[in-house]
Structure formats: structure tokens, C-alpha cells
A = this chain, B = another copy of it.
Amino acid sequence: MRCYVTDESRHLLGVTTVKELLIHDYDDIIEEFMETNVIYVNTLDDQELAAQQLQKYNFLALPVVDMEERLVGIITVDDAFDVIQEENTEDIQKMNAMLPTEKTYLKTSVFETWKSRFPWLLLLMVSATFTGSIITGFEEKLKALTILTAFIPMLMDTGGNSGGQASVTIIRAMSLGEVDFRDYFRVIWKEVRVGLYCGLTLAAVNFIKIWVVDRMLFKNDEITLLVDLAICMTLVVEIVFAKFIGCSLPMLAKKIGFDPAVMSSPFITTIVDAISLLVFFGISSAVIPGLS
């Protein structure tokens, strides 16, 4: 059991244990055997920091000091437990386009639940109309080769999922303290390579699937080798882009003081959707004769 040592005005000087006090003689001076390197938190620190410190050092309690480093209380590991779970819930809500709610699910009213979900849905809905206008811009080309439209959901979803994976991984790693802004280029270099692997493997599967199923089995004549190639090239490029954006935005958000958790899947998806369509129409126009 830990005992904190202070001076008369309660300034925190050190820490010792009941065991140490028992094994020392009555005339020993505490200052001589106490540990002076005390881990503590400040009254104004975020509760998350206290929880992280408790977890990091495997302590059962942590002293809390005021601005003049006077001991004003302790925080114990069971408080920290609840804090960590609340913070996790909050992160998960933010990562999935919701404003955090205070109460448990069944105690939150329908109206409150609506209030926590509506703002992000609205913002993302409006953003998605821009994606729609990209399609309108390529309307004429889509009329010339309507089969391309059929691949839009697959390309949009795969891009969104790829970006979401990267953003969620980085947000979690940052919140656990495993990654910070100093690792920016290391993270990007890693994600770009993961994106390349994912893109190439998915493109390979897709290339064969389109040729065998859509072309040979369903005898869709609109599908030529070049159409198949354009779709698969789009996959590779958009996935690398998605991974790059997915890991960059949360790190940049944190750097400029925003909560990285909001730079997560739904938001990334909206951006990646637009990029995927531009890449798709760009590559198709360049590769498929008669579309340029």
C-alpha cells in the first residue's frame, strides 16, 4: 500500500509504502528512503490521461495535485476503468458518424438518439451529392458504355472500406499512444504498401471474375479486355489513395488540434467515393477506345 509524503503545506515530496515504513526504525527519516520520482496527475488534466498513466505504470492509485503541486486527492484504478470504457464508447461513436451520448442506449430517448445521429448524416448526405455530380458530369460517357455504371457500387464500396480500415487503425493506435505525428511518414509508407498489396490482389481476383463470370458466363458483350483492365486499374489506384487518405487525415487532424476520431470511415468514405469515381472515369476515358 502506497503512502504519499508531503511537507506542511501539502506539497507532494515523495512516495513510500506501508511495508517500507514497518521495516525501518522509528528514528529513520522518511526523506532518506522515500521514492522522490512520483508519477502524478494535475487537477486540470483530462481524466483520460489519468487512466492512461494508471494503465501504463500498472498502479492501483495515482496522486492528484493542484497547480501549486499540493496533494489534493488520489484517483484509483476502478475509477479509471469506467473512464477508459466511456472514452472507448465515445471514440466508437465518433468513428461511426455519431455525436457522443452520455446515457446508456436504452436510457437515451428516441429524440436524443436522433439528435446524436442527424448532424453527421446530414453533412455526409450533402457531401455525397457532390459525388453524384461527378456522375452527372460523365453522363454522356456512361450512356455510351452503360456497363460501367454497374461497377460503380463495387468501386465505391471497396474504396470506402479500404480507407475506413486505415483510418480506424490509425485512430486506435493514436488513442493507445502507439503512434503519434512523428511517425507520419513511416505510417504513410506502410499504408501505401499495404494499399498496393490489397489493390493488386483484389484487382487480380476481380479481373478473372469479370472475365469468367460477366463476360463468358453471362455473355455481356460490352465487357472487353480493356473495360476489365480499366476497372482493375481503378481498384489499385483508388485503394492506394484510400489508404493514404485514411491514415493521413486522422494524423493531420490531431496535429492541428482536432479530434482524430471524426476523421473516420464515414467521412473518409465520402472523400474516397469522389476520388474513386474521378479515377474510374479518368482511367476509362484513357484506356477504352471511343470513350475519350
| Identity of the chain B residue whose Cβ is nearest the Cβ of A115 in the assembled complex | B197
Do residues A135 and B152 form an inter-chain contact, with CB atoms below 8 A? yes
At the interface, yes or no: A202 with Cβ under 8 Å from chain B? yes
A104–B170 alpha-carbon span in the complex (Å): 11
How far, in Å, is A118 (CB) from chain B's closest CB?
6
From 172 to 203 in chain A, residues with beta carbon under 8 angstroms from any chain B beta carbon are 172-173, 176, 178-179, 183, 186-187, 190, 193-194, 197-198, 201-202
At the interface, yes or no: A157 with Cβ under 8 Å from chain B? yes
Mind listing 11 A-B residue pairs with CB under 8 Å? Answer: A55-B85, A59-B78, A77-B78, A110-B190, A122-B201, A125-B157, A125-B202, A128-B157, A129-B154, A133-B150, A139-B150
Q: Given contacts A58-B78, A105-B170, A106-B179, is CB(A135)–CB(B149) below 8 Å?
A: yes
- List the B side residues contacting A158 at CB < 8 Å: 121, 124-125, 128
Q: Given contacts A149-B139, A186-B106, A198-B118, is CB(A270)–CB(B157) below 8 Å?
A: yes
At the interface, yes or no: A168 with Cβ under 8 Å from chain B? yes
Closest 6 CB pairs of A and B: A105-B173, A131-B153, A128-B154, A132-B150, A114-B197, A96-B168
Q: For this complex, into which size category does the number of interface residues on chain A fall?
A: 35 or more
At the interface, yes or no: A31 with Cβ under 8 Å from chain B? no
Which A residues have a C-beta under 8 Å from some C-beta of B? 1, 54-55, 58-60, 77-78, 80-82, 84-85, 88-89, 91-93, 95-98, 104-106, 110-111, 113-114, 117-118, 120-122, 124-126, 128-129, 131-133, 135-136, 139, 142-143, 146-147, 149-154, 156-158, 160-162, 164-165, 168-170, 172-173, 176, 178-179, 183, 186-187, 190, 193-194, 197-198, 201-202, 205-206, 209, 265-266, 269-270, 273, 277
A157–B149 alpha-carbon span in the complex (Å): 16
- List the B side residues contacting A85 at CB < 8 Å: 55, 84, 176
Residue from A129, A266, A269 with most neighbouring chain B CB atoms (10 Å): A129
